[in-house]
Structure 1
Amino acid sequence: MFPNLPPFAEASDTVRAALLEVGQQGGILDAQDDLAAGPKNLIVDPSVNGNSTSTNPYGTNPDNPTMTAGSTFVGQFTDHDITFDQTSQLGVPQNPLISSNTRTPALDLDSVFGGGPGMRPDLYVDNADGSVGPKLKIGNGGVHEDVPRVPNGDGTYTALLGDPRNDENLIIAGLQCAHILFYNRVLDELENVDLRRFPSARGADPANLYVQFRIAREITLWHYQWLLVNEHLPQIASQQMVNDVLGRGNRFYLPPAGDAFMSIEFGAAAYRFGHSMVRPSYRANFTSGTGDRTNPTTDPFFALVFDKNEPHFSDPVSYDRDDLLGGYRAPRRYVGWPTFFDLGDGEVKNNKKVDTTISSVLFTLPMPAIAPHTQNSPTVLPQRNLLRQLTRGLPSGQAIARAMRAPRRSATDRAEIASVYSPFAASTPLWYYILAEAEAVTDSLNLGPVGGRIVTETLIGLLRADPTSYVSVYPRFQPFLGTDLQLGSNLNPNITGNRSYTRAHFLYYAGVVQPGTCR
């Protein structure tokens, strides 16, 4: 987006050491959550859950009242759809004009569809006549849906996914399942859908299996894309920013139509803001593998996102981890979605604020959550994010703010990072700058003008550059699947974004939520 701006710092040993100190466990970014208090108390106990107290009005790691806990994982799922760097070494400069991205730079769910039955037949159901698809495979962990897995012969399983990272944690795997189930149901009900507005259906033979794949995929994609523009982006970047980019066009991310590229400012910095929204623990579901219940308080499964003390066993069938690390098939490893998205039943929880405080569980990543080519690099997520600023040669936050003519933050907004390494006060790593900007401008409720514009222009720009997206083909498209969901009367009025059609409606159509039933 800003190819003429210089890197924020030279890739020297001094700068690398300073970045590692900024991002270290126990350092200025660490929320220092009391993980010993246990996953449930980290949510419900005011003395340890990070929210404001009489002696600390802001809190040590406060909840964000405008977003639900699921917003974080929608961001991760979207990121996995468009970015995947499998080669760059952290902290080692790489030519920013040479892409290391192995995902298609399009919001096309290649992380789910894998390019289609012809490219990834292993993702699709085998038919009796020897053909594959158009339905996607779905697994079962014993009680509810699971990503499809194949045994390795030693007690372990490999997930069959368009992107292996979508089994990194239980919640992202649940979103993968939901998109598979949504698409499969579209296939089941295709004959009942008015297809006149969908280009894949024009002049096509609806009896052809590949045509069915293309049509059902397009319908699924348009619902997914619409939610990004109308629910996700307004939550994370503000409705005002979304309206500006939709109404006045992109100013800085300007890919040619049909030839999109992935913005390094987005992939290596701005969209990594979501790490600040991660809670240390979640209520993963309500019933811990015992089956559906109407009482949501009976057997909830509370767990840390990652638990460094949890051993890595080689048999994920007989052993069920107590954290949310992915890769395990067990009866209680499924998602109770009312915690993550608002169904109006009073059960939804918030994510954390967008600020320079990162939940402590992210300072001790387990090896399975780390890209194999970077496992010799730090296992502390903030350090990894900061080193990426050097890898990609990113400009400073101040330089980009000047280029955007956005308000530049005062030195007090960066006092903490300057206390570690004084040059960072005037030339701040972009990822840190974006978090500090959110604190200063939006009270940490969403991204500020620099971070918000990078993210909004990139995602909307990708849709504009894609001639098959709903934005390009039929901008007035309105989602229609799952609209019969009857939300409860206890909707959280503080949640931002479009409320007429939400992620809850999408999940309802996928069959993974049912009002009045907790699972």
Structure 2
Amino acid sequence: MDRINHEAANASEILIDQNKSHQIMNGCPIKHHGVTKAIGCKHIAVSNFSKLFPNLPGLEISEEEAAIIGGPGGLMHDYNDASKDSSIPSGYTFFAQFVDHDITLDTTTALHGGPIGNVEVAKLPNLRSPSLDLDCVYGFGPDGSPHLYDGSSPGRLAIHPNGHDLARSPSGTALIGDPRNDENIFVSQMQLLMQKFHNKILDRRVHSFDQAQEETRYHYQWIILYDFLKRLCDPKIYKWALARIHHAANEPYPILFSKADGKPLTMPVEFSVAAYRVGHTLVRSHYSINSNNRRVELFDERFGTLGFSALPEELVVDWSLLLPVSDSTVPVMTKAIDELLTDELHNLPLPVVNSQNPNDRSLAFRNLLRGSVMGLPSGQAVAGALNQAGYPIEPNIDLRLDQVNGWKKLKSLRAKNDLSLINHTPLFYYLLRESEIVHQGQKYGPTGSALLMEVFGGMLLHCETSFLKVPDWQPDPWISQQRSCPMHSHSEGSPFDRAALEGDQNYYPFELADIVRFVENAD
């Protein structure tokens, strides 16, 4: 461990793979919570952003309109915890955050200002690889990122000697591929879980780093497609899109998310700035960490939940309180998928957002304003375009916005000739409101689900290191719930039912909780 800390403390360069058009970057401090710019970062892109619907006009809203909808006390402020629970275990909130940090990082665009055009969007650098490759865990491998690895045990990822925290430099900085994965207790522990998962696969199931990395990535990708998205998405859209993912050779998929030959995969802003921010509505104000800390605020400085610091043993996360790990413990569920964001997210702490402007410290306001700056189309326009592309979406759904308390405040802000926000609704708000109208907050709405399946499906199908590129690959039966069937070796495959994966909403033969059980099992 001393060797690891010494290497990290003296490393002034992050080595970047020249074949990916990366470049050496000196002293790059990406230590922030993903809502503010990283101080001192002027990066060369790993990839870039793009638009799924470049021909649709952007919907510009004013800061006053964004404040009415998403500011403190606005239409999206759940200050009384009025939202119901969903049926999704709350551990998936932090898994979603972990995935987000694996695929997207924008440190260049400003929150305030007029809309930017398609050309400017295409020039924006994305500092993560949008290929679900766990580069936030592996960095550039043992040779390119040696400070992430255990020098005393080849191929193993470094963890803290106490076994319950991330490896850290002498100053306390986490030695991980993306520093944002230390920004709160839960995502930090999710990062550690994935590192331990790799190490145990290396110890128990395979014989080399390359094999362990591949198996870890494949299991992670499987969970995203068949566990996380299945729990989250509209069932009709999920089944329709998954059938096309399974038969992409016969029915071209994705439909809109294309990849230019010889160029990196880009990240659509309709996904990164709107659709995938569904995770924000899942967030609760309080969480159970373990049996001794059953009610901890999301940003409770007493418990170090603001992150970027060593984790004391008394705050080790008990995943059985957040995921269905044990039959004897019912996990806490996420907040409902609706247009309301919890009070904590409307008053982000100063260490998270360095601004005295109350609106700037509201995550809903920030999302709406960033969507306007990025020139995102209205929700109605996106729903219509997806319907035209073939998705089974109702493009003219009534959001019942006249029934939203306070919506009338918006009417007086627009001239008669301007587009009405009732018929041209900001995409972020539209997707969440649609979820409440269609599924009463239990599932993501059809339009948001289509955007997730299009882009996640595209990431997996466009990537040459995806498990979908390996015919008939299945999760290891010793890791999945098929472990009770020892007659099936990994090479023989496990008896998963593909039809049930598509159509049975209760069929989860391998889920995130299985990784917890595998890692924590002493066998």
TM-score where L is the length of structure 1: 0.76
Deviation digits for residues 70-125 of structure 1, max 9, x if unmatched? 12111111111101111111133342222331000110011111121222221112
Letter in 1 for 2:348: L
Deviation digits for residues 392-430 of structure 1, max 9, x if unmatched? 111110111111223222251465374342332222111
Q: 2:74 aligns with which of 4, 27, 30?
A: 27
Question: In structure 2, what is the equivalent of residue 282 of structure 1?
Answer: 287
8 Å Cα contact 1:9-1:427 kept in structure 2:
no
Deviation digits for residues 272-291 of structure 1, max 9, x if unmatched? 011111111010112xxxxx
CA distance in 2, matches of 1:4, 1:303: 46
8 Å Cα contact 1:418-1:424 kept in structure 2:
no
Question: In structure 1, what is the equivalent of residue 459 of structure 2?
Answer: 462
Question: In structure 2, what is the equivalent of residue 328 of structure 1?
Answer: 309
8 Å Cα contact 2:355-2:361 kept in structure 1:
no
- Say whether residues 1:151 and 2:170 are aligned partners: yes
Question: In structure 2, what is the equivalent of residue 91 of structure 1?
Answer: 112
CA distance in 2, matches of 1:98, 1:276: 29
Letter in 2 for 1:424: L
Higher deviation after alignment, 430-439 or 90-99? 90-99
Q: 1:253 aligns with which of 246, 257, 281?
A: 257
Q: 1:111 aligns with which of 121, 132, 136?
A: 136
Letter in 1 for 2:400: T
8 Å Cα contact 1:149-1:160 kept in structure 2:
yes
Following superposition, the deviation at residue 261 of structure 1 comes to 1.4
- Say whether residues 1:357 and 2:340 are aligned partners: yes
Question: In structure 1, what is the equivalent of residue 160 of structure 2?
Answer: 139
Q: 2:365 aligns with which of 374, 380, 383?
A: 383
CA distance in 1, matches of 2:431, 2:359: 24
8 Å Cα contact 1:442-1:448 kept in structure 2:
yes
- Say whether residues 1:126 and 2:151 are aligned partners: yes
Deviation digits for residues 287-329 of structure 1, max 9, x if unmatched? xxxxxxxxxxxx344200014xx4xxxxxxxxxx236322232
CA distance in 2, matches of 1:226, 1:411: 34
**RMSD of Structure 2 on Structure 1 (CA):** 2.7
Letter in 2 for 1:84: L
- Say whether residues 1:78 and 2:66 are aligned partners: no
- Say whether residues 1:213 and 2:213 are aligned partners: no
Q: Within 5 Å, which residues of 2 pair with 1:99-498?
A: 99-127=124-152, 133-139=154-160, 145-152=164-171, 157-190=172-205, 193=206, 212-248=208-244, 249-256=253-260, 259-286=264-291, 299-307=292-300, 310=301, 321-322=302-303, 324-329=305-310, 330-343=312-325, 344-370=327-353, 378-405=360-387, 406-407=393-394, 408-410=396-398, 412-413=400-401, 415-416=403-404, 418-422=407-411, 423-483=420-480, 498=507
CA distance in 2, matches of 1:114, 1:67: 30
Following superposition, the deviation at residue 158 of structure 1 comes to 1.2
CA distance in 1, matches of 2:174, 2:356: 21
8 Å Cα contact 1:125-1:136 kept in structure 2:
yes
The structure with higher relative contact order (CA 8 Å, sep 6+) is 1
What SS class does the counterpart of residue 455 from structure 1 fall into?
A: helix
CA distance in 1, matches of 2:134, 2:258: 22
| 1:373 to 1:508, Cα distance in 2 relative to 1, 3 A | farther
| 1:272 to 1:79, Cα distance in 2 relative to 1, 3 A | same
8 Å Cα contact 1:112-1:180 kept in structure 2:
yes
CA distance in 2, matches of 1:390, 1:441: 25
CA distance in 2, matches of 1:331, 1:391: 43
Following superposition, the deviation at residue 337 of structure 1 comes to 0.5
CA distance in 1, matches of 2:357, 2:176: 21
CA distance in 2, matches of 1:382, 1:244: 30
CA distance in 2, matches of 1:411, 1:482: 43
Question: In structure 2, what is the equivalent of residue 17 of structure 1?
Answer: 64
CA distance in 1, matches of 2:235, 2:261: 25
Following superposition, the deviation at residue 163 of structure 1 comes to 0.9
8 Å Cα contact 1:21-1:420 kept in structure 2:
yes
8 Å Cα contact 1:168-1:369 kept in structure 2:
no
| 1:189 to 1:476, Cα distance in 2 relative to 1, 3 A | closer
Gaps of 5+ in 2: 1-51, 245-252, 388-392, 412-419, 485-503
What SS class does the counterpart of residue 67 from structure 1 fall into?
A: strand
Q: Within 5 Å, which residues of 2 pair with 1:33-52?
A: 33=80, 50=81
CA distance in 2, matches of 1:373, 1:182: 38
What SS class does the counterpart of residue 147 from structure 1 fall into?
A: coil
| 1:414 to 1:161, Cα distance in 2 relative to 1, 3 A | farther
Following superposition, the deviation at residue 485 of structure 1 comes to 8.7
Higher deviation after alignment, 420-429 or 391-400? 420-429
8 Å Cα contact 2:322-2:331 kept in structure 1:
yes
What SS class does the counterpart of residue 125 from structure 1 fall into?
A: coil
Following superposition, the deviation at residue 376 of structure 1 comes to 11
Deviation digits for residues 144-175 of structure 1, max 9, x if unmatched? 511111122xxxx2111211111111111111
CA distance in 1, matches of 2:225, 2:436: 23
8 Å Cα contact 1:226-1:479 kept in structure 2:
no
CA distance in 2, matches of 1:381, 1:303: 20
| 1:478 to 1:257, Cα distance in 2 relative to 1, 3 A | farther
Following superposition, the deviation at residue 484 of structure 1 comes to 6.4
| 1:87 to 1:236, Cα distance in 2 relative to 1, 3 A | same
Percent identity for Structure 1 against Structure 2: 31
CA distance in 2, matches of 1:262, 1:5: 17
CA distance in 2, matches of 1:111, 1:257: 25
CA distance in 2, matches of 1:440, 1:187: 46
Q: How many residues were matched structurally?
A: 423
CA distance in 2, matches of 1:116, 1:377: 41
CA distance in 1, matches of 2:240, 2:439: 17
Higher deviation after alignment, 398-407 or 476-485? 476-485
| 1:432 to 1:484, Cα distance in 2 relative to 1, 3 A | closer
Letter in 2 for 1:421: L
Following superposition, the deviation at residue 133 of structure 1 comes to 4.3
